[in-house]
Chains A and B, each alone.
Chain A
């Protein structure tokens, strides 16, 4: 490494078991569970201890253990997994065109002595069952994401559409809207962390933003253009006003909210050498520093992971770029293989933990040290 960076990525777990490329990894927002999905049509769930072993401890690599394997019944690749905000439901999006909704049986009532938080975070070994299968997409589904309230599920796919489903009790879902704004495959959907605003990224090189007009229905209020090729992934900032996107053009773009319904590109981050398949935006290490925008992590087809630290600009107008610097990087993160997915753990106390999934059929967990 030519430049001395303030942090390093230390691998704390290396998880094998998938029999084909890992497409996506997702941390449960409430329970200590990491989910992954693969071209082998399965989902694997791993759990980890309250306290991850300290750095440099070699047996730290064994801290993660397999909790469940879900043989999904999807007939083709499971492309992505998305947790509900409560951490109780998991949605799978498959190339077979279907969306699966997975849950465990609710816990027995005789656990009244346990407080609510413990109950919510409790990890149970029970099987995950398919509660519902949502059919509607004409071809490959590529992404599924629950809204911040957990009431809505967004899905997208190669049929160029974005679907918004409304959830009812007993895992019943009704279609609320089918958005046909993109001219090509839709690769990824991501909800704003608080508001019911949805972003979709596409093979048509654009990102579209949607809002549910209370008087009317879902509509696209802005198309973000600027990327020179397919947009693979998008992630909202934990501070809510920014959006990051990663592209086949080898850049990550950062978009800032300048009006209630207007985002503008304020920053283009280079440094990757091949298609950037995934981007994740975490809060970073808890900081007293004012204007801390957290950490952006991204991964590419050459096996690189880059981590940037961003800060609100202290001078200039509304569209001046955030202060930014690369704070850590890892080459050949999955050996010679592509890294397809990257995700920050968002649970409090675990903000410096990253997971990646790659073409080497593995998941790897990293800590920023």
Chain B
């Protein structure tokens, strides 16, 4: 079992619901498209608002690119000084780590020009060592878990 991924994610991710319907042939590589990825991340909550990333237009379908096993996601922070952007990017990464098959490599960037610390943010969100260390931080991890909490009634 690869590190950082839960094979039996017990949370309320959309993925688990969809997976039930797929047939059990484990040798077959399941194709995953941008829409499915979008389905996984649109219901993440913004750490600072009672809304989801979809509602706040932080993520959108055209900002997701899937090329074989590589996923590239761009998100748009609500304001250029948004202090929660690191955590937001981390939430997206954790949701995908837990939901996507291990073969996927995920790159996460903020939309060019959308944040004052664009370069620093991009670098941090894509440094696996930084991410691994952040996820060992219990306080940070529980606030990430908060943003990944069950969404209420809307599918």
A residues near B (Cβ < 8 Å) are 20-21, 39, 76-77, 79, 95, 140, 142, 158, 185, 187, 203, 229-230, 248, 274-275, 301-302, 335-338, 359-361
Contacts and interface: CB of A to CB of B under 8 A. Distances in A.
B136 interface: yes
A21 B3 contact: yes
B136 A77 contact: yes
Interface in B1-28: 1-4
A95 B134 CA distance: 10
Contacts of B102: 335-337
Contacts of A338: 128
B129 A21 contact: no
Contacts of B128: 275, 301, 338
What are the nearest 3 A-B pairs in CB distance? A21-B3, A336-B103, A20-B3
Nearest to A139: B133
B127 interface: yes
Which among B4, B69, B126, B129 has the greatest number of chain A C-beta atoms within 10 A?
A: B129
Given A158-B133, A229-B123, A39 B3 contact: yes
Given A20-B3, A336-B103, A77 B132 contact: yes
Which among B2, B69, B136 has the greatest number of chain A C-beta atoms within 10 A?
A: B2
Given A336-B102, A338-B128, A361 B136 contact: no
Given A77-B132, A337-B102, A230 B123 contact: yes
B92 to A, nearest CB: 18
Contacts, number: 49
Contacts of A79: 129
Contacts of A302: 105
A105 B1 CA distance: 36
Interface in B35-73: 69
Chain B at the A interface: mostly helix, strand, loop or mixed?
loop
Chain A at the B interface: mostly helix, strand, loop or mixed?
loop
Given A21-B3, A335-B102, 18 more contacts: A20-B3, A39-B3, A39-B132, A77-B133, A140-B133, A185-B129, A185-B130, A203-B123, A229-B123, A230-B127, A248-B126, A248-B127, A275-B128, A301-B128, A302-B105, A336-B102, A336-B103, A361-B3
B69 A76 contact: no
Contacts of A335: 102
Nearest to A79: B129
10 contacts: A39-B132, A158-B133, A203-B127, A230-B127, A274-B105, A301-B128, A336-B69, A337-B102, A360-B2, A361-B1
Report the interface size class on chain B. 10 to 19
A95 to B, nearest CB: 5
Interface of B: 1-4, 69, 102-103, 105, 123, 126-130, 132-133, 136
A336 B103 CA distance: 5
A140 B131 CA distance: 12
Nearest to A40: B3
A77 B3 CA distance: 12
Nearest to A187: B129
B2 A21 contact: yes
A301 B105 CA distance: 8
A140 B132 CA distance: 11
B123 A359 contact: no
Contacts of A229: 123
A337 B2 contact: yes
Contacts of A95: 132-133, 136
A187 B132 CA distance: 14
A361 B2 contact: yes
A39 B1 CA distance: 13
Contacts of B1: 361
A229 B120 CA distance: 11
A79 B136 CA distance: 13
Nearest to B4: A21
Contacts of A158: 133
